[in-house]
Structures are given as structure tokens and as C-alpha cells.
Amino acid sequence: MKRRTIVARTGLFVFAILSAGCNFQGSFSFASEDKINSAFPISEAVSITKASVLELATDAQRKEIESQYDARLKLRALGCAKGYSPSWHTSVADIKNKLDNRACFTEADDEIARWLGFRRVGLLLAKPPLKPVPAKTPSLIAADGFIQTVRFASAAGIALIETQQSIEIADFETTKLLFREVKRSKAIGYPSPNGRLFTVGESDQLKIRDAESGSVIAEIPYVRAYEFHWLDEQTALYTSSESGKAFLIDFLSGNDIPLELIKRGVQRAVSVPDTRNQYVLFSHGTVTKIELNRSKVVPEVRLLAEKQASGIAWSSQSDVTADGTRFFGASRGLVFVDLTSLEIETIPFEPFVLQNGIATPKPDEIILTGFIQPPDGKGSPDFLYSISGNTVRPIEREKNSSRRYTYIRSIQKLAVINNNQISVVDKLAALEAVPLEKFASDVLMASNQRKLEAFERQQRLTATAVSSTATAPSPDARQDAATPYPDNPIARLARNAQIEAVGVYQGETGAMRAEAGRRTGNVLVHVRRSAKPLVLVLSSYEPVRWSLVMEPGAKLSAVLVSGYYQSQVVGAGSARVVMAGSRYAYKAGSQEHRALNQETFKWTGKDIDLFQGRYEGKSFSVGG
């Protein structure tokens, strides 16, 4: 009888131990945090992610990751318990009843998954290139449709290609596809230096994905594709669209670190030549040089220099010369930044409007694209610009060619993008060099001639309107008065599109000065999901910085920008942006509105379907 009592008591004791909880190395524990985590187990997604990380790690790395993981589990339990500490005999059911805030555990799981994702990214970044930089230059890469964007890994033979239909990862030595998927509503970012990862933006979230499988490795909320920048094989930098603050990700520790010294979001990040840990960050109105100190567990960021760059916008079309010494971009004029000294030089090109700058294998030579204002619908040639000689050479191009250029830095070659093909070229056919002063003089004469012709056309239209009856002209009469521009690609894009217009006299007052000392206003335009493609007409009297926010499913084909003073558009993605003249309107039914509609008809062959206007605009929504 006594023996049975002892056995029974022993059984109850063992049961109590089992109920008390077990720690995550498989041994029994009476620690309150282990009991809490037993009551609220980690999510299956976190467990799967952890297994993927450990599979990539070395033995030493596994030990360190396991230790960090256990520490985070402990913080998860203590943080969500908010002071509650169960005793050793408290049951799992009692703990669940006591702690009913399951959302806290879900959020903690998300944080652990984010940390594990960053660690996994770090392990993949440390691997050799997915495909080596080819010793032999490929002759041609063909995609499945019209190529909108192509970006190359800086230290691997990998190309990230965006077409109208899909996103593709290609080995650009063999030209074989490694990965392809239907694009849907994604905005592509950049491949990692070793080509094993690439980024895409989906809605307001950035996803870091595996280049071979497409699987999502890590996610960062409130970050757009163009707000994330790879720095090297250990770190990256991003800007939160929610807070506007910049953060550094250290993939070795899996932590992101606020960059308090950066007051505005980073638009571009470029390494300083002949250094290991120095970078130049380009923000709105500021150029900042930093140094990363990796001697400690968490990298420290040190400010080396800072320079104001008021009125300069650093677009994604900016580039670095082939020798890595100068950053350049098109912002009203051609802007150069010496990456060592941060000296800024601006070379005026007005009235020629620069749109894009592309590096070439020659450090002294870059390609410039743009057009003469006002446009004549026929387009303008591209140019080779000599930095030291301050000369331009028009590049010869085939008739009706859609060719664009890109510099492949890993092989130091120039490539031409034409429809669905990428071909490497050794030399561009260009005409005789012309001094920039003569080029600017010729452009000014052509611009003035176009303005005169436009004025004469308007006078004829006004005279026709005065002599006509008060009733609206028939569609046929409208087409006679406003003949579409010949050979106009916008009309093709507009054929099945909805035409919407937004007009303001001025945007919400901004601090950035534009031409003639005028201040550039800011207007936000949300482009909603729509069944039909959208052609957007933006017009203003004062200069405006039109910021477009593309919602998932938005189908923006083209943007026509018109105004008395020159404006700029950001966030248009792959949509075609055209400077469409000097018309502006902010009142429906006004004479200015009718003139803007006629100019829109010339570009699109269609009337404006929907017009929104205000004297001072701040925010609009289009599409839907």
C-alpha cells in the first residue's frame, strides 16, 4: 500500500513537470517564459524559416543563431506577459486564459520572422555569385515581350528584366532564363551584388526574393522598390514611406539601424571609389557622405561630409561614370557630383529638356536623352556628351527604332535595348562633335520657331472659334481644328485608354525653387486600380512636382505634362512621360480648359474623359 502511494505521487510529480513546460532544446524547464511559449507556440511559418536559415549556416553560425533565437523567444514571452509570471504548476490552459492578447504573440512572431529573413539574406549574400561575370560577352538576350526595364548585378552574370508581361531572371552569358513569372502588380527593384537575390515592390511592401526560385526570403513593410538600395554583400539601406526615415540593414546580425543623421529619405546610394566602407547618399536637397564602422557587433555610421543640393532631384535614371568617380543626373541641367569631394557642378542645357543620363565604357563620355521644348511630336536624337570637351555628338539611329541604352558595369560594356532584345555594342555611330554652346544656340532657335508656330496655330483656332456658332462643334469639325500629331506613339497608347486630366494653377507651396526663381508646388496623385489603361494629363501654371502613387492594379500607360512653367513627374514607373506644351487649366468649361482639351486631342486623338481642377491642388485620385 505504501509503495502504491509512492508510485502515485511520483506519477503526479512527473505529470506536473510535463505540464510545467519544456524549453526549446528539449529539456524540462520551470522558467516562466518557457511555460508561456509552451502555451503560445511559435508559428509554423517561423519554424520553417528558421529551418531554412540553419540549413545555410555553418556549425559556428548555427550555434550563434540558435542562441539569438532563444533570446528572442524569451523576450517574446516576457513582453507579451506584461509582468505575469506563472508558477511551476500552472497549467497551459490557465496560462491561455490569463493571457488572452494573442495579437501580441503574432506581432512578436512577425518580428522574429523578419530577423530570421534578414539572417537568411545575409547567408545568401555571403555566397559566391549565382553565375560568374562572363568572360565572353553575350551577343543577344531575348525576352518574352517589350522590355520596360533591365538591371544587372554588379558582381555576377545576372540580368533582372521587366517586360510588359513578366519578370525574368537571366544568365546573360548563356542567355538562359533562371526564373520567370507573370508580372501582375509589381514594381521591380535591383538584383543583389552576387545576383542571388532581387527585390520587388508590391503595394506598400518590399520583398527580397530568391533569384532561382522566386521564393520570398524577407519582407519590409512600408518600403517601395525604389526606396531600397543594396550597399554591399553585408548591408542595405531603405527609406520607410510611412515615416520618411532612413534605416541601415546589417544582414550579419539581422538588425536594422535608424540613420538619425539622414533627415530625409534616400533616393540613391553610391559607393565612394577606392574605399571599402564609404558611401554617398543622395536625398532631396542634400548629398551626404558616410562611413560604416564594422568593427563592432552592430555597425556604426559616421558622418564624413554633407552638402546642400537645393532644387536637384536625383531620379532612378541617374548614373555613375565608368571609373566610379562622378555621379551624374538630369535635373533641369546636367548635374555632376564628385564622389570624393562632393563638389557639385551643373551644366545648363535649356531649352533642351534632359530626361536621362547613361554611363558608357569611357569615363569621359556619357549618353544623354531628352527633347526640345515645346515638342513637335517627332522626337529628338540621343547624344554622346564629352565631359572634358563640353561637346555633344548626335547618335545615329534607325527610323522608327525604340532603342534605349544601358551600361553593364560588371563587363564594362554598353548595351542597346530594342523592343524585346538586349544586345551588347562596342561602338555607337555618332555624328561630328558640336560645342555645347552651339548646340544650345541651335536648340533655342528651334524652340522659338516651334513656339511661333504654336502661337500661329492658336490664333487660327481662336479665329475659327469666334466665327463659329455658339453650339459645340461636331467631332469631325474638332478633328479638323486639332489634327493629331503625326507619327505619335502616345496616340497608340491612348487608343483603348481612359483620358483623365488634373489641372491646378499652383500646387501646395513648396520650398524648392524652379526656373525664374519661382517656387515649385507639390501635388500628390493617387492612381487607382482600373479595368482600362489610363492616360493622365497634368497641367499647371506654376511649376509643380507631380508625385504619383500607384495602387495595385493601376494601369498607367502615359503621362502628358503641360504648363506655363516647366514641371516634373515622379513615380510614373514604366509609363511614358511626355512634356506636352504650355497649356494649363484648372476650371472645367473655361477657355483654358478647351485649349488643353484640344492639345490633348493632338497627342491622343481623343478628348479628355474626366477633368479635375482646383486653383491650389494638394491631392487627387484618378482611375478606378
90 vs 220, more confident: 220
**Is residue 534 helix, strand or coil?**
strand
Angle, alpha carbons 168-169-172 (nearest 5°): 120
| Axis-axis angle for helices 59-81, 102-125 (nearest 10) | 160
515 vs 433, more confident: 433
| pLDDT (tens digit per residue) in 422-472 | 999 988 888 899 999 888 888 777 777 766 666 666 666 655 554 544 444
26: burial class by Cβ within 10 Å (0-12, 13-18, 19+)?
exposed
Nearest to 347 by CA among 380, 390, 317: 390
| pLDDT (tens digit per residue) in 479-512 | 444 566 655 778 888 888 999 999 999 987 654 4
**What are the residues whose beta carbons fall under 8 Å from the beta carbon of 79, sequence distance 6 or more?**
104, 108
Range with lowest mean pLDDT among 11-20, 431-440, 523-532, 534-543: 11-20
pLDDT of residue 387: 95
Report the residue count for the chain: 624
Nearest to 115 by CA among 68, 152, 67: 68
Q: Are strands 498-507 and 610-617 parallel, antiparallel or unpaired?
A: parallel
Alpha-carbon distance 271 to 273, whole Å? 6
| Three-state secondary structure readout of 301-344 | EEEEEEEECCCCCCCCCCEECCCCCEEEEEECEEEEEECCCCCE
213: burial class by Cβ within 10 Å (0-12, 13-18, 19+)?
exposed
Q: How much is the pTM?
A: 0.70
Residue 322 scores a pLDDT above 80? yes
Nearest to 346 by CA among 393, 383, 338: 338
**What are the residues whose beta carbons fall under 8 Å from the beta carbon of 364, sequence distance 6 or more?**
321, 386, 387, 388, 389
The average confidence (pLDDT) of the chain is 84
- Which residue in the block uniquely carries the three cell numbers 494629363? 537
DSSP secondary structure code for residue 427 in this structure? -
Amino acid type, 374 = P
* Residue 199, phi then psi, degrees to nearest 5: -115, 145
pLDDT, mean of residues 178-195: 90
DSSP codes, 349-416: -TTEEEEEEEE-SSTTEEEEEEEESSP-SS----EEEETTTTEEEEBP--TT---EEEEETTTTEEEE
**Is residue 117 helix, strand or coil?**
helix
pLDDT band at residue 302 under the 50/70/90 scheme: very high
Alpha-carbon distance 591 to 610, whole Å? 17
Amino acid type, 386 = S
Q: Are strands 576-579 and 434-435 parallel, antiparallel or unpaired?
A: unpaired
pLDDT of residue 618: 86
State how far the alpha carbon of 276 is from the alpha carbons of 291, 320, 412, 480, in Å. 9, 17, 21, 64
pLDDT band at residue 13 under the 50/70/90 scheme: very low
pLDDT band at residue 248 under the 50/70/90 scheme: very high
Nearest to 267 by CA among 291, 292, 237: 237
In contact, 395 and 367? CB cutoff 8 Å: yes
Bridge partners of 508?
522
Alpha-helical regions (H) of 431-533: 436-467, 475-481, 489-494
pLDDT, mean of residues 40-63: 95
Residue 581 scores a pLDDT above 90? no
In contact, 247 and 229? CB cutoff 8 Å: no
DSSP secondary structure code for residue 513 in this structure? B
| pLDDT (tens digit per residue) in 237-246 | 999 988 888 9
Residue 58 scores a pLDDT above 50? yes
Range with lowest mean pLDDT among 292-306, 363-377, 419-433, 590-604: 363-377
